[in-house]
Every structure is written in structure tokens, then in C-alpha cells.
Chain A
Amino acid sequence: MLKNKISRRQFLQLSALASAGLTIGSRLSPALAQELSGTINYIHHFTSESEFIGMESVIASFQAANPGVEIVQENIPNADFMSKFTAFVIGDARPDTTMVSSERVTDMVAMDGLVDLTDLINDWELKDVSSDLVWEGVTVDGKIYGVPAFAFIPWMYYRKDWFEEAGIDPPETLEDFTNAAIALTDPEQGRYGFGLRGGDGGHGLIMEVMSSFGVNFVEDGEIVADRDTMIEAIGWYSSLVTEHGAVPPSVTGDSYRQIMEGFKTGQTAMVWHHTGSLAEISEALDPDQFGTIARPMGPMGYPGYIGFLYNGIMKNDNLDASWAWISHWGTPEPAIEFLDATGYFPANSLLSDDERVTDNPLYGAAFDALAAGELEPQFVGASGWTRNVVLPEFQKVLIGDATVEEAVDAMLEGLEDAIE
């Protein structure tokens, strides 16, 4: 897998170039805009009020520039999104455009659900403001299937006030992290060092930990995962629970909602998530109570996959208007509208020197993490394997039903079944 890291300096350089490019060709020319007409259907999984506020701003700005095009949006809960996407494709009732996440693009392309946009993107004046890493997240077999909209950058929230109270610094290595989690755990006070996501959705973090120890999973259709390294990774991660007791007892049932509520209500000192949840945490805690920081580095890399959200095209009807709509998401105005409404980090570097990003100290961690993070491993069957094998086997370790070695063996066996 191509590893392409961007430094903060490179970001700023690219943004300077892009700013010049913006004045020339970031929008369609007025003449061309007037030619576009029709109704464009767009499916997505925005559901919260803040996301809708942001999206409505984007629709308004697009329709102001393209008055002949009407955008009809349909929101689908994230958990059911692929079911409905599949129904649309199989039932030949495709909408024009769709939201595409980097973890789903492989499966979407496998069912022939997306239009190849390679030629359109290569001719697009804003292509180069996004790094190769961004484009890699939506590229399958050399073809590009989406325009980047946002980035979900994995980082860590921590209770600044607890760390100050204990006189310890935020962790930079996994060893520091373990020691901090232990030091900040006090069950009698109802405090735990780390809100480990051992419930629904926790598979992602397990994969991130294994990757940070140097585990590669599948290359060219072959399993290349090293058993011993997987054991080391799972062993460390599970020791937070089984050996140190530094997580809440409800760990095996804790999904996103539980770890976030636990952090917001003062039960945990640290929690791993990404930039998408910043607005929620900021509403609940004061700036002097919490901070953001890049996750501590693992032995071989950063324990976090960068997730990008893109927009793609599902059918060739009215391609010009569909392209205009999805490429609009890649321009600065929608990114700012969404950043204001949701806190979602832009996927390209155009805004990296915007004061709304640079003046917010919380976003410093995002740049650090962006420089170190990688994309989630992509192979057909990955989603099912991680959810249905990796997570349950890890949970068995947490409750003592399996040893680390047994769990890893089961994961490898499941991986063989998944890629067949």
C-alpha cells in the first residue's frame, strides 16, 4: 500500500498554490453553469441537525451558482446505507450521485455501483490540492471513483484537567499511554484511564492497533499477516483490560455512544476517535477540561486510519450536472460551510491556512495525525471480516473466553474464509 504522508509545510505550500488556482478555475464559468439543468438525486448518510445545516448551505451555494439544477437529497442512516445502495444498484433505480466512504468504495465498485471518474478528475483544476493519499482512498484498480469532501482524522481526546491534577504529560508512546491509563484509573471515584471501544464499531480500533505494530493483512489477494506481530498487538491492547483494569467494566458493550458519554461525563481520561466528533465533545466540555492530541505512536506506525468522505456518481444520465454537484463539494466554500456547522475537517489543503483552522488549537493534533496516518486496508471482504470475526474474537479475550493466541488464530482462519 502506498504510504504518502504530508507535512504541515507541504500543506501550507499546496494551499498557496491552490489559492492562486482558485481565482481562475474553481467554479464553472458562468456560460457553462447556465447550460446545466435537471434534477440531481443525491444519497448520503448525514443525519444530525448540524450535518443538515451544513448540507443545506452547500446545496444553496451550488444552486445559486447553477440555478437550472435542482438537488434532491435523501438521507439514509449509516448502518443501513449499504443495504439501500445495494437495492438501488440491483433494482436499477440508481440515484445520480452518492456519498462514498473510503471503507466502502471497494464493495461499491465490486457491485458496479459507481461510475469511473478518472478522466474527469484528471482534467479537474483542483485535483492537485488533494494529496495522493486522499485519492488513493477512492481509487480501485487504478480508477478514481469520487471527489474528496472531508477527512476524518484519527486522534485522541484527553482530560487536560485530570492530567494536570496527576502531574503527568499527555502520552506520546504506547508505553506512556499505558502508564497514564493506569495512573488515572481510580475505580472508587468511578474514573478509568481509557474508554476502550470494545463494543460495536470497535473493530476499527483493533485494526488500527495491529497496523501500528506493523501488521499488514492482505496483499495481492494473499494473506501476509504475521501471527506473532498480531499476538503482540492484541496482547498489548487487551492488557489494558485484562491486566491493568484501566477501562470501565462495561468495555465489551461500549460502542461509540458509550465511550463518548463516558468521556463527557467524567468517567474516562482518554478516548480514541476522530475529528468528526469534535463538535459533540466541545458542546459538553470546556476548553480547559479537554484537549486533543495525536494518538501515541505504535512500534511501527500511527494507530489510526484516516477516513475520507467522498462523493461519487452512480449513473451517466446528466453527467455534467452530476459532476458539477460532486466537484462543488471539493471547493473551499462547502468545506468552510461544513467546518462551521459540524467541525468536519476538510479533505484538501485549501483551507489549511484559513484562520478558522489554524487559530483553533484543537486542530493542531489533526495536522500531526494527518502527517502520520494511513488509509484503512482495502480488500474485498474486509468489512465483514473485521466486524464479524476480529471484534468478537477480541471480545472473547476481554472476558477470558479465549487467550490472545487463540483469538489471533481464529482471526487468521476467518481472514482466509473472507478472501476466498
Chain B
Amino acid sequence: MISNQKTVDRIVEVIRWTFLTFVLIFALFPIIWTFLTSFKIELDIVTSDLQYLPERITFDNYVAIWTRSGFPTLIQNSVATTLMTLVICLVLGSLAAYGFSRYQFRGRYSLLLFYLVLRMFPVVLMIIPLFILMKNLGLLNSSFGLALAYTTFLLPICTWMMKGFFDAIPPELEDAARIDGCTRLGALFRIILPLARSGLVATGVFIGIAAWNDYLFALMLTTGVDSRTWPVGLALMVGEFQLPWGALSAGGIISIIPVMILFGLVQQTLVRGITAGAVKG
């Protein structure tokens, strides 16, 4: 009986590890392939004989990306836009989420549902009205304008996620603080936000990745290299009749480095945040 159970446990363990290995390979293979391609010369990329490892290694693709695509400026614009989006969303989203979490007011439920409905709209439907609005406000071609545009579709998700984290914190903690003379806002900043730190990080990472990767809004609301972001710059390297696979692969690898660094720094807090509150609604 015990040996049967051990055998069953072993089989389950093998199946689990096999499945996880498969998922890992499925997820990592494209990144590894892109990484290897970024070090190949063009002749070794477009060939009928498949080459996994580069036979001839070159760094020319990285040099090309750095010098010919306006890479430093594009990355700078992406960083600026993403940071602005993060600040706006986290500040406004946290305040809104706190209100939804702690206050009962007329229309509360409808407003929350409205936020969800906003998320269901295809973003592409907003492009033209947003373009007109940004143009009239003089915000076309600016990182701030782009950050505001991103806020339109990221703020609802930020609010919903933070509300979930705030709901998980007992209101008695704030009550105790308020008895000691703390204001509502003071309780938010001194008690609630520190406790919801992991939730803030998790939400921030989602918002940051979404803002960093956006292509459509960045293409439509910016015109020149002074304001364009990295995803647009990368897409513009794809020619009508020419496709520099090596340079594009190098660009792809470079573009995920900041995301990987960010994830490496916050992964423990991120995982804690994801499992702590948001997904439990």
C-alpha cells in the first residue's frame, strides 16, 4: 500500500515536471532563438539549412540598432512615458481604489462596472477621438500626452487591482489610527499603502509593461523621433521589401532587458502581491 502510494507520487511528480519543462521550453524557446539570431550574420539567418547555434558570431546587429534606429532617444522616450504613466496611474488609481474600498456611496457599484466596461472596448475605437482631443489640447507629439492616453485604458485596471488589495486590509487598522488622531488621508499613506506595498508593485509592473509595449497609441499620437517610443522605432525598421532579421532580433533582445531587470528586482514582492489580494477580488 505504502509502496503503491510512493509509486503513484513518483509518477505524478514525473508528469508534473515533464509538463513544467514543456511549458518552460515553449515559453523560452522564442526568446533563446531571438537571442541566438541577434548574433548571426544575415546569410546565416535566411538559409535553407537551419542553424541553431551561430557558426559566425557578429555584434554588428547590436551596433546597427544602436546607431541607425535612433535607439538612445527612443528608449529615453519610452522610459519617460512609462514612468509618467506609472505615476499618474498609481496615484490616481490608489486614491480611487481607496474610495471604492472604504466608502459606500450612491452609484459606487455602477461606477465600478463602468470601469470594467471601459476595459472591454477595443482600444482602437478610441484612437481617432483621442487624437482629436490631444490635438486640441496641444498634447500631440509629447511624452506627457502619450502617458495621458495610456492612462485612459490602464487606470481602470489599476483601480480594480488596488481595490482588491485594499479590501484585504482590515479597516480596523485605520480606525485605530484615526482614534489616535490620524486623518483619512494620513491613514492611507501611513497604514494602508505600506501594507499594500506588494500590491502596488504588482500593479505597477502590469502598468509598466503595458505602457512600455504599447505600439498603436504611440504610432498614432507621435510623429517624430523626438517623441516616438521604442516599439514604434522597432516596427519602423521593418521595410516594405526588406527585413533585417538580425537587427530586429537585437532590438527585441534589448527591449526586453529593462523588463527583465525590473522583474528581477521586484519578483518576490510581485509574486506576493499577485497571490495576496488582487486575484481574490
Contact = CB atoms under 8 A, between A and B. Distances in A.
A295 interface: no
Given A76-B219, A261-B46, A279-B242, A47 B128 contact: no
B110 interface: no
A257 B48 contact: no
B7 to A, nearest CB: 44
Interface string B118-145: 0000000001100110010000100000
Contact of B242 (A49, A72, A78, A91): A49
Interface in A55-82: 72, 74-78, 80
A276 B46 contact: no
Q: Chain A CB within 10 Å — which of B140, B240, B241, B243 has the most?
A: B241
B254 interface: no
B224 A48 contact: no
B46 A90 contact: no
Interface string A266-286: 110000000011011000100
A265 B47 contact: yes
Main secondary structure of the interface of B (DSSP, over half): loop
Nearest to A260: B241
Size bracket, chain A contacts: 35 or more
A260 B46 CA distance: 10
Interface string B209-250: 000000000011001100000000001111111111000000
Contact of A74 (B132, B223, B239): B223
A87 interface: yes
Contacts of B243: 257
A90 B128 contact: yes
A279 B244 CA distance: 13
B219 A280 contact: no
Contacts of B241: 48, 256, 260, 276-277, 279-280
Contact of A190 (B48, B237, B239): B48
A201 to B, nearest CB: 11
Interface in B28-82: 46-48, 68
A51 interface: yes
Contacts of B237: 47-48
A293 B223 CA distance: 40
A244 interface: no
Contacts of A49: 68, 239, 242, 244
Interface in B101-131: 127-128, 131
A46 B236 CA distance: 9
Given A74-B224, A266-B48, A50 B242 contact: yes
Nearest to A78: B240
Contacts of A279: 241-242
Interface in A114-142: none
A91 B219 contact: no
Given A49-B239, A49-B242, A87 B131 contact: yes
A77 B219 contact: yes
A75 B46 contact: no
Main secondary structure of the interface of A (DSSP, over half): helix
Nearest to B43: A284
A265 B43 CA distance: 10
Contacts of B224: 72, 74
Nearest to A50: B242
Contacts of A91: 128, 131-132, 135
Contact of A265 (B48, B135, B219, B239): B48
Contacts of B131: 87, 90-91, 93
B242 A280 contact: yes
A84 interface: yes
B97 to A, nearest CB: 33
Contacts of A190: 48
A93 B133 CA distance: 11
A342 B240 CA distance: 11
A288 interface: no
Contact of B219 (A80, A90, A257, A264): A80
Interface in B230-281: 235-244
Contacts of B127: 83, 87
A86 interface: yes
Interface in A88-118: 90-93
Nearest to B47: A265
Q: Chain B CB within 10 Å — which of A48, A80, A86, A260 has the most?
A: A48
B46 A87 contact: no
A92 B68 CA distance: 32
B239 A47 contact: yes
Contacts of A266: 48
A409 B161 CA distance: 51
Contacts of A84: 219-220
Interface in A169-202: 190
Nearest to A343: B241
Contacts of A83: 127, 220
Contacts of B239: 47-51
A276 B240 contact: yes
Q: Chain B CB within 10 Å — which of A87, A92, A256 has the most?
A: A87
Given A83-B220, A266-B48, A48 B128 contact: no
A276 B242 CA distance: 10
A5 interface: no
A45 interface: yes
A13 to B, nearest CB: 31
A45 B224 CA distance: 14
Contacts of A72: 224
B195 to A, nearest CB: 44
A57 B242 CA distance: 19
Contacts of A78: 240
Contacts of A48: 237, 239-242
Contacts of A87: 127-128, 131, 220
Contacts of B48: 190, 265-267
Nearest to B221: A87
A260 B128 CA distance: 35
User: Which 4 pairs show the lowest CB-CB distances between chains A and B?
Assistant: A48-B239, A265-B48, A48-B242, A277-B241
5 contacts: A77-B219, A77-B238, A83-B220, A87-B127, A91-B135
Given A47-B237, A87-B131, 12 more contacts: A47-B240, A48-B237, A48-B241, A49-B239, A72-B224, A83-B127, A83-B220, A87-B127, A90-B131, A92-B135, A93-B131, A265-B46
